Amino acid sequence: MSKTIYAKPKSLTDTTFRYCPGCSHGIVHKLVCEVIDELDIQGKTIAVEPVGCAVTAHNYFNFDVVQAAHGRAPAVATGIKRSLPDRIVFTYQGDGDLASIGTAETVHSATRGENITVIFINNTIYGMTGGQMAPTSLPGQVTQTSPYGRDTHTQGYPVRICEMLATLDGPSYIARVSTDTVPHIKEAKKAIKKAFENQINGKGFSIVEILSTCPTNWGMSPIEAMKRLQDEMIPYYPLGVYKDVEEVNE
Amino acid sequence: MGEKVLMKGNEAIGEAAIRSGCRHFFGYPITPQTELSAYMVKKMPKIGGVFLQAESEVAAINMVYGAAAAGVRAMTSSSSPGISLKSEGISYLAAGDLPCVIVNIVRGGPGLGGIQPAQSDYFQATRGGGHGDYHLIVLAPNSVQELVYLTADAFNLSDEYRIPVMLLGDGTLGQMMEPVDFDSIPEPVYAEKPWAATGTENKRDKNVIETLFLEATELEERVLEREKKYDVVKEKLQRYEAHNTDDADIIISSYGITSRVVETAVKILRDEGIKAGVIRPITLWPFPEKIYKQVKPKAFLSVEMSTGQMVEDIRLACECSAPVYFCGRTGGVIPTPDEVVQKVKDILKEVK
């Protein structure tokens, strides 16, 4: 008799991803859905999708989804969670959504310790609108709106969300992970799982920042993009756990 | 009628909302409506409800969006500048066909304006306020008692039609105290919400609340579908109060607190033998246009605490069967009955 050693998570639909080749969204969607399957919470889960490339995540997520206005996902998730406290509510947001137009919603849902899970895709660029400078674009990074490279004198510095939120008392778990190698992807899945488990256990706000690629708008091949993530992004955005209330309490 | 209690308008809205099954309130402080939040934050914990002071008006309306998407009766309140901030979220609520109640206790504008009562948000309330083809149902009470009745109606109508409802008051209504009876308010009529994002429990297909439709024809189809719903509301929901219209040489229209000034003015005019009548719109959207086609005065007069925003709707409703004049004050100034009386006399000299 044959034994199943790998299967597509049932929380993921059969719809083919429309993300660009080499984009990390596909990996992260799969990790999130695997975690939801493993925790057996598909029927209890409500996702809040952002404005950005993941605005059509409901085509791939096989559970209830609410589409939010740009940056407002944590406020929408708050409204859902406060209405249905026994449901599992997560937001899935990009860097423009979470760290620019929605910074207030991010910071305040975190400081309230809102019992939600936030999946944060940081690929240092606005993908859906065609590659403009993001709040997380690196110094010197060339984008459509920083054609001479991000000039920190006039365009400021990147926002390090994990470090910033770690100064707050409200969040229970803050981690930065990456999608560049198999070991890192495994770490990423562990962090995502913990962020969902925390919500199940009523621990409050958990966020996982996932360093991701955008080969199309970076003007790179998928392989070059992964190399940029390793060589340029990880040094600026160090991986690791920035806050874990369990550890503090121990 | 049950027992009457003396209550401030803002607090009465809160009590009526609770009696109408609202257990989720998301607010942000702004004068002159803050008493509503203050009432809710005291009451909600005692009845297992949720009160949350949001970080911004923008967040508050998006929390309402989330709660409404999850299928509960949700409410937020604010005053003019705060409603401008909420307008983004209101557009999304309309686009998502999500029922909810939004209270605007209007103050003078534009900009920060003032904190005195005004009616200068009529355009914003009746034309949508946010982007896109949409309407809210807009209810305009003129007493604390009516504030309470219309709060209950607002939740029921919103559930019935899946249209966000705006309760449009003004600083006077919010701040003044009047005797009010809660026992006679409409009972909550809860609609089934099979569309809500409540988690599938592995028993149904997933529900998606979405407002993005990249295919132009699909978006058009959705907008036109909603337009049909608006047509039904326009046909069925025109509410107004009218009196002394049959023999009227002039019909005075006003809504909300201004109608109380007009009532006094009409009494003075009638005592002097001047044939003045009244149409008071209670639904500002849909505007009660049918009644304007049934009356034949020599002139209409709109009395407002704005620069005359309702004049256009009266003109459209009466199809220019008579000239439409305006009398009002703005910036937080309340017109007096004498100003209205004088204006009527001036108009009647002109139209004779």
Q: What residues does each domain of chain B span?
A: 4-236, 241-351
Proportion of chain A in helix, strand, coil states, percent, rounded to 5: 40, 20, 40
Instruction: Say whether pLDDT at B26 is over 60.
Output: yes
Picking from B26, B198, B200, the nearest residue to A79 by CB comes out as B26
Closest chain A residue to B90 measured between Cα atoms? A69
Domains and CATH numbers, chain A: 25-249 (3.40.50.970)
Cα-based distances in Å from A169 to A109, A249, B118, B212: 12, 13, 42, 36
Give mean pLDDT, residues B276-289.
Answer: 98
Nearest residue to B118 (alpha-carbon basis) of B126, B110, B107: B107
Position A249 scores a pLDDT of 45
* Cα dist from A235 to A121, A165, A218, A229, B5, whole Å: 17, 19, 18, 9, 66
CB atoms < 10 A from the CB of B55, how many?
19
Cβ contact, residue pair A65, B59, below 8 Å = no
Both tokens of B149, joined, read 């009745």
CA B154 to chain centre: 9
Give the residue from A137, A63, A53, A45 showing the smallest Cα distance to A100: A137
Contact A79 B68 (CB under 8 A): yes
Nearby residues of A232 by Cβ (< 8 Å), 6 or more positions away: A138
Identify the residue whose tokens are 């896109």.
B132
Q: Which residue of B has its CA nearest to A102?
A: B59
Nearest to B62 among A55, A75, A87 (CB): A75
> B64 to chain A: which residues are within 8 Å by CB?
79
Q: So what's the pLDDT on residue B98? A: 98
CB atoms within 10 A of CB B103: 26
Q: What is the mean pLDDT of chain B?
A: 97
**How many Å is the maximal CA-CA distance in chain A?**
65
What is the mean pLDDT for each group of 10 consecutive residues in chain A (250 residues)?
90 96 97 98 98 96 98 98 98 98 98 98 97 98 97 98 98 98 98 98 97 98 98 98 76
Strands A206-211, A117-122: pairing kind: parallel
Residue A223: how many other CB atoms lie within 10 Å? 10
Whether residue B148 is predicted with pLDDT greater than 50 in this model: the reply is yes
Q: How far apart are the C-alpha atoms of A22 and A37, rounded to whole Å?
A: 25
Q: Which residues of B touch A87 (CB under 8 A)?
A: 70, 198-199
Name B126's Cβ contacts closer than 8 Å, sequence gap at least 6.
Answer: B135, B138, B284, B285, B287, B313
Name the CATH architecture for the domain at B241-351.
Answer: 3-Layer(aba) Sandwich (3.40)
Distance, in Å, from the CA atom of A64 to the CA atom of A87, rounded to the nearest integer, reads 11
Question: Any CB–CB contact under 8 A between A63 and chain B?
Answer: yes
Q: Count other C-beta atoms under 10 Å from residue B160's C-beta.
A: 17
A104 touching B, CB under 8 A? yes
What distance in Å separates the CA atoms of residue B113 and residue B115, rounded to the nearest whole number? 7
What is the ipTM metric for this complex?
Answer: 0.96
Decide: pTM greater than 0.95: yes
Cβ atoms of A213 and A22 within 8 Å: the answer is yes
Report the C-alpha gap between B116 and A226 in whole angstroms.
59
A190 touches chain B (CB under 8 A): no
| Rounded-to-integer distance, Cα B234 and Cα B245, Å | 22
Confirm if B150 and B165 have CB atoms less than 8 A apart.
Answer: no
Side chain identity, residue B55: E
Q: Which long-range contacts (CB under 8 A, 24 or more apart) does A134-142 make?
A: A134/A95, A134/A96, A134/A99, A134/A100, A135/A95, A135/A96, A135/A99, A135/A100, A135/A103, A135/A159, A136/A95, A136/A99, A136/A161, A136/A237, A138/A232, A138/A233, A138/A236
CA gap B252, B230 in Å, rounded: 27
When scoring B97, B204, B206 by the number of chain A Cβ atoms within 10 A, the one with the most, hence best to mutate, is B206
Closest CA of chain A from B147, distance in Å? 26
Chains A, B: CB pairs < 8 Å = 133
Would you give the DSSP letter of residue B229?
A: H
Q: Which residues of B touch A62 (CB under 8 A)?
A: 206
Instruction: Write down the pLDDT at residue A250.
Output: 42
Sign, CA torsion B114/B115/B119/B125: positive
**Look-up: residue for tokens 């939010």?**
A68
Strands B4-8 and B24-27 come out as unpaired
Whether A79 sits inside 8 A of B207 (CB atoms) is no
In order, the DSSP letters of B128-180 are -SSSSS---EEE--SSHHHHHHHHHHHHHHHHHHT--EEEEEEHHHHH-EEEE
CA distance B341 to chain A (A): 49
- Check B74 against A79: CB less than 8 A apart: yes
Residues of B in contact with A66 (CB under 8 A): 65-66, 69, 197, 208-209
| Dihedral over alpha carbons B20, B25, B31, B34 (to 10 degrees) | 70
**B4-236 and B241-351, same CATH topology:** yes
Instruction: Characterize the bridge pairing of strands B50-53 and B101-106.
Output: unpaired
Q: What is the mean pLDDT of residues B96-120?
A: 96
Would you call A67 and B208 a contact, using CB atoms and an 8 Å cutoff? Answer: yes
Q: For residues B188 and B19, give the distance between their C-alpha atoms in angstroms, rounded to a whole number.
A: 8
CATH hierarchy code of domain B4-236: 3.40.50.970
Lookup result for tokens 């993001």: A134
Provide the pLDDT for residue B14.
Answer: 98
Tokens of B68: 């409404």
Q: What are phi and psi of A208, to 5 degrees?
A: -120, 115
Nearest to A76 among B55, B65, B202 (CB): B65
Confidence check: pLDDT of B1 > 80: no
